[in-house]
C-alpha cells in the first residue's frame, strides 16, 4: 500500500473520530448543560410567543434554588395537560394549594411568582404575595371574561414553586393544578435564539 493511500485512510479515520466526538459532545451538552425548547402556546405572551425558541440552563438549576421572576421549564403535575386536576379540593375561591402526586410527561414553561413558604392570592390576574401586590410589568392583564380571581390566600408548600404564565388570562398554571415540586424542574430559560428578530437574554 502506498503512503498516499495510508494517509488517505488515516485522514478518513480521523474525520470519523472527530465527527463522533463532536456529536457526543453536542448530545452531552444538550443532556446535561443546555437544552433548546420551543414555545408551544400563548401562555407566556408577551414575553415569549408561539414558535419562539429558548435555551434552557440545566446545570444552573442544580446548583441554586429558583428565584421570583425566573422563567422555568418543568414537568407539571399529572392531569394538568388535559383536565387541570388539583391534588386536593381547594378552599373556596383559592388557587390550588397542592399538586397531584405524579408528574406529567409533558413539559411547560412558566414564571416563578411565589417561593416555598410564601402566601399567595390572585386578584384579577395580579399576584398578591405575602399581602403585597407584586410588580409585574411583563404580565398581560386578564380580560373581562377570564377566570382570574383567586382571592383566598394559600401557602406554598416547602420545596414547591408557584408558577404562572405571563398571559394571565390565557395560561393554565399553578392557579389550577398547584405548585411545582423542586424535583420536577428541568432548568431555567435564559435566552432566545429564534426567530432572528427576537434573539436576546430573558
Reported in sequence order, the residue ranges of 52-173 that DSSP labels E, i.e. its strands, are 53-57, 71-74, 108-114, 119-123, 126-129, 132-133, 150-155, 160-164
Taking a C-beta distance cutoff of 8 angstroms, is the pair 141, 125 a contact? yes
Which cell numbers in the block locate residue 107?
Answer: 413539559
Map residue 48 onto helix, strand or coil. Answer: coil
Residues 78, 101: Cα–Cα separation, whole Å: 7
Instruction: Return the active site residues.
Output: 43, 110
Count the neighbouring beta carbons within 10 Å of the beta carbon of residue 77: 25
Instruction: Spell out the SS3 assignment of 94-111.
Output: CCCCCCCCCECCCCEEEE
Q: What is the DSSP letter of 41?
A: S
The C-alpha cell of 23 is what? Answer: 456529536
Amino acid at each position: 500500500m502506498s503512503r498516499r493511500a495510508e494517509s488517505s485512510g488515516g485522514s478518513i479515520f480521523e474525520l470519523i473520530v472527530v465527527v463522533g466526538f463532536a456529536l457526543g459532545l453536542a448530545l452531552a451538552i444538550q443532556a446535561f448543560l443546555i437544552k433548546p425548547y420551543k414555545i408551544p402556546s400563548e401562555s407566556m405572551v408577551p414575553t415569549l410567543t408561539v414558535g419562539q425558541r429558548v435555551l434552557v440552563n440545566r446545570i444552573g438549576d442544580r446548583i441554586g434554588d429558583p428565584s421570583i421572576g425566573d422563567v422555568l421549564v418543568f414537568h407539571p403535575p399529572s392531569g394538568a395537560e388535559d383536565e387541570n386536576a388539583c391534588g386536593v379540593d381547594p378552599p373556596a375561591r383559592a388557587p390550588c394549594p397542592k399538586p397531584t402526586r405524579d408528574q406529567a410527561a409533558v413539559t411547560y414553561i412558566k414564571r416563578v411568582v411565589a417561593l416555598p413558604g410564601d402566601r399567595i392570592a390572585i386578584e384579577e390576574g395580579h399576584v398578591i404575595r405575602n399581602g403585597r401586590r407584586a410588580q409585574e410589568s411583563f404580565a398581560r392583564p386578564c380580560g373581562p371574561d377570564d377566570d382570574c380571581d383567586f382571592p383566598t390566600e394559600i401557602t406554598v408548600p416547602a420545596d414547591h414553586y408557584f408558577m404562572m404564565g405571563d398571559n394571565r388570562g390565557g395560561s393554565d398554571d399553578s392557579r389550577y393544578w398547584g405548585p411545582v415540586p423542586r424535583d420536577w424542574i428541568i432548568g431555567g430559560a435564559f435566552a432566545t435564539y429564534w426567530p432572528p428578530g427576537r434573539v436576546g437574554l430573558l
